[in-house]
Structure 1
Amino acid sequence: MAEYSLRAASEARELIVKLHNSCLTHINEVTSSLKEEFEHTLHLESDLGQWLDVLKGRVESPQLNSAHRDFGLSLYAAASGLYRQAFSSSRSSLEVFIATTYLSASEFKRRQWVSGKLDISWSYITSAENGIYSQAFIGEFCPAAQSDRDEFVSLAKATYRRCSEYIHGNVATSQLLPTSIAYDKEIMREWISLSRTTLLVTLHCFMIRYFTELDFGQQRKVEATLEDNLAHLVSVRRILDLPVERSDS
């Protein structure tokens, strides 16, 4: 029995090391063939980190940091070739970022959510009537962003849905995934695209909810993140006092 246990432990270790080496090979391929796209994603993640640093004194900071860790796990899983796990963590990151930002406006509900007495559904926090992109919510916190509502809620919902298709065994997406840890450039490109959208939507939600409540010094710390990533939006240009191209009447 002891000899069998030792042999089984040795075989388990060899299997784990083999999987690790496959992941390492995948990391090298990703950072070589998609170097520019991957670095752009890391730059966006760094911009998000600027906001998290500014918001670290808020009561909802632990939940925001939890969502950030989920994104880090998604990035690691994608780079390692663990694609289904990458899409799962990416979806979780998006959901928790938006839920936390939304519930930060209602301390009672936020506390109930944290204590497990309240469940928040994705459809509710993104609903046109009550969610973070509702006219009422944006009207209270960032009226300048009313023109962005349809675009960004659509981006959020499409990203969430696409990640869900990879998670829940959708036949069409399951057939796209490799049956072993093997590099697939198109899958990686899709993950990068969805991860960028996750980060951009989160930055936009942060702007809506928090920017006007930040003091001058805090605003200066995050202004570059908005200008670098969202300056194509008229709302952002107005918030940052950047030139706005006049349209013909």
Structure 2
Amino acid sequence: MTGTKSGIESHLLGLHALARENITSAVEASGADLGRLLQLDLDILCWEQRLLPRPEVDQLTAARRELGFAIYAVGSGLYLHAYAGLRLFLELGFASVYFSANELYRRKWIADRKDFSWSKALDENDGVMAQSFIREFSETAAVDAPRFARDAATSYRHCSQFIHGKLAVTSSLPSALAFSSMVLSDWLAAATDSARSLLFLLYARYGDELLPHDSDGRLASTIEFWFGHLREVRKRLGLPIEPGSN
């Protein structure tokens, strides 16, 4: 009987076994891309650790937690949950930077007297990726911000389509708890763009303040690895300008 304690446990463990099989398939199919995303998460962690005294870091910590759950979900074959978690990662991560410049708004949000909308985060005039915003913290980062704003907006919209049940995207999902290399690849592309956009945003917002005190070079290495192809980043880090730099 499924209603008994043993029946319930058997049902849940059966799902767990399927998820375990999906994780094995996911690592075999896309281990390199999963590793790349996990490295991005660790690099974001480097910035989070330097920001610990700040009140807005709580939202950044929560964002990384949601990304971790989303990675587990996508590996397990819980694809709809993975897209939902990725969208929340973007919202919380970008909100943390918005709150860093809007303490009153952050306090009202925590007290549930204000809502935070994604449209506010990416507003062309006042959003955290707007050149007018970033320029106040980093003149050099403002040059490249629009490309990462586009990546974040595209990923967020894509995740939202799954959450809202748009048939154009949900039709690609397996009807049961089963592995799909196509869906995994699609999610990984969106997740990588999302995490890279947040990492660039952290660099844009805090880089001029934190990099001069980066005694162990860890922050600089995260930026050089992911954005070392950008001319303005290379100039900011004091690296030689290569012919192929954008």
TM-score of the superposition, structure 2-length normalised?
Answer: 0.94
CA distance in 2, matches of 1:28, 1:21: 11
Q: 1:12-91 counterparts in 2 under 5 A?
A: 12-91=8-87
Aligned length: 243
Structure 1 residue 215 displacement after superposition: 5.9
> Does the alignment pair 1:140 with 2:139?
no
Instruction: Single out whichever of 157-166 and 214-223 deviates more from structure 2.
Output: 214-223
Residues 128-186 of structure 1, C-alpha deviations (whole Å, 9 max, x = no match): 11101222211101111222132111111000000111111001111100011111001
Other-structure match for 2:119: 123
In structure 2, give the amino acid aligned to 1:211.
G
Structure 1 residue 69 displacement after superposition: 0.5
Structure 1 residue 218 displacement after superposition: 3.2
Pick one of 180, 183, 188 that aligns with 1:187: 183
Report % sequence identity.
31
- The answer to whether the 8 A contact 2:131-2:143 is kept is no
- The answer to whether the 8 A contact 1:166-1:173 is kept is yes
Other-structure match for 1:210: 206
> Does the alignment pair 1:223 with 2:243?
no
Structure 1 residue 83 displacement after superposition: 0.2
Structure 1 residue 235 displacement after superposition: 2.1
Larger Rg: 1
- 3-state secondary structure, aligned to 2:127: coil
CA distance in 2, matches of 1:215, 1:32: 38
In structure 2, give the amino acid aligned to 1:59.
P
Sort the Cα spacing of 1:74 and 1:169 in 2 relative to 1 into closer, same or farther, 3 A.
Answer: same
- The answer to whether the 8 A contact 2:211-2:219 is kept is no
Give the unaligned 5+ runs of structure 2: none
CA distance in 1, matches of 2:165, 2:184: 18
In structure 1, give the amino acid aligned to 2:46.
Q
Structure 1 residue 55 displacement after superposition: 1.2
- 3-state secondary structure, aligned to 1:141: coil
CA distance in 2, matches of 1:111, 1:227: 34
- The answer to whether the 8 A contact 2:140-2:232 is kept is yes
Instruction: Single out whichever of 31-40 and 197-206 deviates more from structure 2.
Output: 31-40
In structure 2, give the amino acid aligned to 1:198.
S
Structure 1 residue 114 displacement after superposition: 1.7
Instruction: Single out whichever of 185-194 and 144-153 deviates more from structure 2.
Output: 144-153
Other-structure match for 2:149: 153
Structure 1 residue 61 displacement after superposition: 1.6
CA distance in 1, matches of 2:48, 2:37: 17
Give the unaligned 5+ runs of structure 1: none
- 3-state secondary structure, aligned to 1:195: helix
CA distance in 2, matches of 1:184, 1:15: 22
Structure 1 residue 197 displacement after superposition: 0.8
- The answer to whether the 8 A contact 2:98-2:127 is kept is yes
CA distance in 2, matches of 1:87, 1:7: 31
Sort the Cα spacing of 1:33 and 1:246 in 2 relative to 1 into closer, same or farther, 3 A.
Answer: closer
> Does the alignment pair 1:176 with 2:172?
yes
Runs of 4+ in structure 1 off by over 4 angstroms are: none
In structure 2, give the amino acid aligned to 1:187.
V
- The answer to whether the 8 A contact 1:54-1:218 is kept is no
Q: 1:84-123 counterparts in 2 under 5 A?
A: 84-123=80-119
Structure 1 residue 8 displacement after superposition: 2.4
CA RMSD of aligned residues (A): 1.7
